[in-house]
Amino acid sequence: MCGIVGYVGDGNARDIIIDGLKRLEYRGYDSAGIALHEAAGLVVRKQKGKIKNLEDSIAGETFTSSVGIGHTRWATHGAPSETNSHPHLSESGKIAVVHNGIIENYVKLKEKLQKEHGVKFKSETDTEVIAQLIGLYYKGDLMDAVYKATAEMEGAYAIGVIAADEPDKIVAVRRDAPLIVGLGTHCNFIASDIPALLKYVRQIYLIENNETVLITKEAAKIFDSDRKEVKRDVFHVTWDADAAEKEGYDHFMLKEIHEQPKGVGETLNRRLDDDGSIKLDGITISKEELEKINKIYIVACGTAYHAGLVGKYAIEKFAKIPVEVDIASEFRYRDPFVDENTMFIAVSQSGETLDTLEALREAKRKGARILSVVNVVGSTVARESDDVFYTWAGPEIAVASTKAYTTQIMCFYLIALYMATKRGTITADYYNQIMGELKALPEKIQRILDNEKQIEELAKKQYKLSSIFYIGRGADVGVAYEGSLKLKEISYINSFAIAAGELKHGTIALIEDGTVVFALATQDRLYDKMLSNIQEVRARGAYVLGLAKENNKEIEKQASDVIFIPECADEVTPILTVIPLQIFAYYVAKFRGCDIDKPKNLAKSVTVE
């Protein structure tokens, strides 16, 4: 997601817009830019990197404009660069556009503009297509040109547009991406989100889908898709700016936990063709090259490593290729067997984790094919890979990774199914069954989130605990590791994860009266064995927090408390199983008064070995 800000008024547009962009930095921060109406026409300044880079780069310039638009980018199409950052201009230089979202049919529109109108493009972005299209239709009426252009655009987007020949107005459009209007005295604003405006206004219009907005210094009007003006109640914002960045959640972590239905859904749906087949943009490996692959390493750190454990399970189950999952900091020091028939999959939210990067470089030196699963477009891991499979989780601000983990797992399901179809190791029926299960996940995640209160209550009962064990079998083992990491890194409680069947080989000696054990029992085929493991630890005085699918009620007789998740196939449970563990960790840390978004000793991206 990206951030948009626009201002029309009596004040200095450059200062006000930069201010607003800084409050939207949580929406994206790999590049930023601004377009202003100056005497010489539209002046555009943009910079790669954080908004401060932009601010510093224009500090020495004098701008008198009181009308402009600005943008902070989270790249989805086109790596972060000055050329790809917004605003984008039409060829005439008379139209400037900022954009949040994705134009699904931008390639077709770009080809039409190039072939039929000879338009020359400067960037690889879908946004420049919008600017050129509006420029094509612009005959002196900006609203008219915007309506004509957006009628051809498909996808989810919010845009802000200014025209050199109409220096007193901004036009904006909302289609499935957030857009608001800020109402001031002799000034008006557009923005992606409330935090950008709170320093100046608290009266806003919430813009609805397929509405177009025209703002000037003295007026803010909303029009529907037929260009009929619509009336809108004014919404009075009571939040403070800090709360607004978290959209009312107390912490970014909780906000990001709640963004998972959308993130998981987008990571899946944008890669499905109309016939339900998988279109893996960014994967160039050929069928022949894929057939040569006889070994896969999945290498990562922390939560990304735990996603890799689920990835192993999916790839071996669907694509029947042996997979080894390794911790990046160990991988290259054990002289692993790697050759040109090896695929190395690096997993990294930030794409900057040095342990993972150095392991990738080692595998590359030995001839492996490098595929990476990354959340930050254009990050170092992405740039050094042969193929990149992006998670579309949006910026993850909290140090504790949540939505990146579930979208990474979704990527592994897609990679595994893609490989299985190319290698002929999956029947069409089974493929369709699993694909149906994956499509149902966002709604099921939401159902678990709707049950947040129960999990909060369980956390309130347990938040004073000094240690906790997470146990599971099959696909639940990797999730147990992730649940344990979530708890320890934000609540500082000593938590430990182990395969349930391994308990009796030593660790069970630690189980005593009152020990808390989180038992994950979602695998139908291993359910009875898990019930035995629960009895094993209960017999030694443990308090067992059970987690199972909602139809498996037997666990209620064995566990002290139970959290249920919606029914689903064993293969796809991890994305659901982890949600209650994330929520549990969050509330335990909250009741303990911990600094949840910025835990002690931790960084969001560990760029040292």
Interface residue list for ligand AGP (CB under 6 A): 301-304, 348-350, 353, 356, 399-401, 489, 605-606
Q: How far is the CB of 490 from ligand AGP (least distance, A)?
A: 8
Q: How far is the CB of 485 from ligand AGP (least distance, A)?
A: 6
CA–CA separation, 410 and 117 (whole Å) = 40
SS (H, E, C) 114-155: HHHHCCCCCCCCCHHHHHHHHHHHCCCCHHHHHHHHHHHCCE
Residue number with CB closer to ligand AGP (343 or 399): 399
Structure tokens of 534? 């629960």
CA–CA separation, 117 and 467 (whole Å) = 67
Closest residue to bound ligand AGP by CB? 302
What lies within 8 Å, CB to CB, of 221 at 6+ separation is 213, 214, 215, 229
Residue number with CB closer to ligand AGP (391 or 533): 391
- Beta bridge pairs of residue 87: none
**Per the residue annotation, which of 2, 187, 301, 594 is the catalytic one?**
2
Residue number with CB closer to ligand AGP (7 or 305): 305
604 among known catalytic residues: yes
Residue number with CB closer to ligand AGP (397 or 414): 397
Q: How far is the CB of 349 from ligand AGP (least distance, A)?
A: 3
Structure tokens of 27? 């929406």
Q: How far is the CB of 433 from ligand AGP (least distance, A)?
A: 30
CA–CA separation, 584 and 458 (whole Å) = 8
Q: Do 542 and 517 contact (CB within 8 A), yes or no?
A: yes
Find the helix or strand (DSSP H, E) in which 269 lies.
helix 260-269
Residue number with CB closer to ligand AGP (375 or 523): 375
583 closest CA partner among 251, 303, 349 = 251
Q: How far is the CB of 593 from ligand AGP (least distance, A)?
A: 20
Q: How far is the CB of 589 from ligand AGP (least distance, A)?
A: 12
**Per the residue annotation, which of 52, 364, 366, 604 is the catalytic one?**
604
- Beta bridge pairs of residue 542: none
Residue number with CB closer to ligand AGP (143 or 347): 347
Residue number with CB closer to ligand AGP (356 or 515): 356
Q: How far is the CB of 550 from ligand AGP (least distance, A)?
A: 28
Order of strands across the sheet with 188-191? 41-48, 31-38, 67-73, 3-8, 188-191, 180-183, 203-206, 235-236
CA–CA separation, 18 and 15 (whole Å) = 5
What lies within 8 Å, CB to CB, of 36 at 6+ separation is 13, 14, 42, 43, 63, 65, 67, 68
CA–CA separation, 551 and 566 (whole Å) = 8
Q: Which residues are catalytic?
A: 2, 604
